[in-house]
Structure 1
Amino acid sequence: MSMRSFLALVCCLAVASIACGQEFKSGIEWPEPKVVTPGDKPADPPSDAIVLIGTEDLSAWNGGEKWKFEDGVATAAKGQIKTKQKFGDIQLHMEWASPDEVKGSGQGRGNSGVFLMDTYEIQILDSYDNTTYFDGQAGAVYKQSPPMVNAMKKPGQWNTYDIIFTKPVRNEKADVIAPARITVIHNGVLLQNSYPIRGSTHWHKAPEYDRHKDAESISLQFHGNPVRFRNMWVREIQPIEPTFVPEDSEMVRYRADWSTEPITATPPQESESDKEEAGKKEADQKKAPKKEEAKAEKAKPKKEKMKEEAKPQPKAEEPKQDAKKSDKPE
């Protein structure tokens, strides 16, 4: 490369750097994100996951001995089971299948459910060509929000749920100031998109927020149908927190839901043409009343104008003499 070409390249890069502007730096210092090794396949548990149903047994569950377990598959029977460990904010993966043989209809066909914090139910149901109420079919936040679509596989085939859940935010009095939120992906299809849960999911009454701890069990329901489960694991979500935040920074991230914080949008920068247009609008607005008065004056009938002109004009007041001064010359 010749010296002339080199200098031309340097000049181009300098111009491009100036055009791009100065790099924004927030001043916030962050810890290095920890390394998590993903599974060999997307459904396999990553290195920091807690396995709830794996290849060995149901020892992670209270009541697990009541269910049938064989070759890594747990089959619902004789009551609800709950995890021994308690959780708050989580990422949950699970696979489930309705019975191969179709029996019953509506809520009586392949019915179960996964409860987060032992309170908020995502419905499990054989919703393949099975009519029922929409906020009670597979992927629904039970009795609150139907799934956006029906992504159910045929009876007997394995379905996947990938769930992101954040617990409700409470104040010092334990009142909920930000709702729990849930995202549900069924067989790779989004069903619930950060849905704000209205409270506990009851069959017999309206939702309301019950008081519970910041961490509670995950539970699986037995609803009379031998629904099967396998490859179920959970990750506890721990938001990354800054190690240092400048006092003048407006980019502080809180653990509480951002919906509880006022968010002020940055006003857009006005170009010269925008300023000129705004100036014209302002001038037109000032002229508008005068134009309206002129139009109103023109619209008056001739007789009314003649009457106004014929009205006697008030005489100008004569200036008053200063009482302190004498009328006589000195």
Structure 2
Amino acid sequence: MYKNIIALFVLFAFFGCKESTNNEDSNDTKIDTLKQVENKEIEPTKPEETEIWEPKPPKVNLGENKVPSDAIVLFNGKNMDEWIVAEDSTDAKWILNKDGSMTVNSGSGTLQTKRNFGSIQLHLEWKSPSEILGEGQSRANSGVFIQQRYEVQILDNNDNDTYVNGQVGAIYKQSIPAVNAAVPTGEWNSYDIIFHAPEFDTDGEKIKSGTMTVLHNGVLIQDHFEILGAVAYIGWPTNEPHGKAPLQLQDHNDGSKPSFRNIWVRELKN
């Protein structure tokens, strides 16, 4: 009888410890998740127990054209000092306009930033010519390439149908935009792009896909799309390992030349 009582006592002690451990694990999980409650083993009962006061986010001011103070201005309408020709690294040869924009100079080459970028927030504004020239993929065709390989299409699709994974706002040949939010031909469009770069292991295998979110004139058209790989005009996307790389603005070398203005970028953590 005495042995039975001892055995029961041991069992109760064991399960009591196990339950206590489980509760502690649960509390630790809550604390880790909230990250506001320190040295607490019970559910918070006061508002201040879940309030965080430090560290304070840095202040960002908005300057001319609402450019954030922590942004890198890539084109402010005064010069093309941040750009070179992608094909030969010579000085940019696009047309600088009096209104603070620049226009594709057909045949002069795609523009490429002198700087390399990883994950970014990118803002740019573009417009097609008021005079309608060309059709299909030959009407104000350009594109913004992130890391030289992931393209958001620029095209005048007003009354101008083309394949939908190559229309305005498409992640070229990979993702159709949710809607066409383009303004009338000849007016200024804006793109706001959030890009998180892909990750590769030491063997060059992709371990995490890059993602793209795109707002066209403030309208969400690409929602955290997982990029399949580098764009390909013919064939399937490829995934060669890479690190930070330049941005590019395409010279499609046709008669209908788009213009650009107010281009800036903020570097993000991946």
- Equivalent residue of 1:65, what SS? coil
Counterpart selection for 1:21 from 45, 51, 76: 45
Q: CA deviation at 1:26?
A: 8.0
Q: 2:246 aligns with which of 217, 232, 237?
A: 217
1:229 aligns with 2:263: no
Residue in structure 1 matching 2:62, options 38, 52, 62:
38
Aligned residue runs from structure 1 range 1-330, under 5 A: 21-22=45-46, 31-39=55-63, 43-63=65-85, 64-71=91-98, 72-77=100-105, 78-213=108-243, 215-223=244-252, 224=254, 225-238=256-269
Higher strand share: 2
TM-score (norm 2): 0.75
Gaps of 5+ in 1: 1-18, 239-254, 256-330
Q: Deviation string for 1:154-188 (max 9, x for gaps)?
A: 11110000010000022232311111000000011
1:23 Cα deviation after fit: 5.3
CA–CA separation in structure 2 for the residues paired with 1:131 and 1:187: 20
Number of aligned residue pairs: 218
Give the letter aligned to residue 48 of structure 1.
D
Q: Tell me, what secondary structure is at the counterpart of 2:140?
A: coil
Q: 3-state DSSP class of the match of 1:135?
A: helix
Of structures 1 and 2, the larger Rg is shown by: 1
Q: Which has the higher contact order (CA 8 A, sep 6+)?
A: 2
Report the counterpart of residue 13 of structure 2 in structure 1.
Answer: none
The separation in 2 between residues aligned to 1:210 and 1:29, in whole angstroms, is 43
TM-score by length of 1: 0.62
Tell me by how many angstroms 1:24 deviates.
8.7
Q: What percent identity do the matched residue pairs reach? A: 43
Unpaired runs of at least 5, structure 2: 1-42, 86-90
SS of 1:36's equivalent?
Answer: coil
Find the aligned partners of 1:163 and 1:127 in 2 and give their Cα distance.
Answer: 20
> Aligned partners of 1:151 and 1:27: how far apart in 2?
40
- List per-residue Cα deviations over 1:280-312 (Å, max 9, x = no partner): xxxxxxxxxxxxxxxxxxxxxxxxxxxxxxxxx
Give the partner amino acid of 2:57: P
Superposition deviation, residue 211 in structure 1:
2.1
- Structure 1 vs Structure 2 CA RMSD: 2.2
Equivalent residue letter for 1:59? D
SS of equivalent residue, structure 2 residue 66: coil
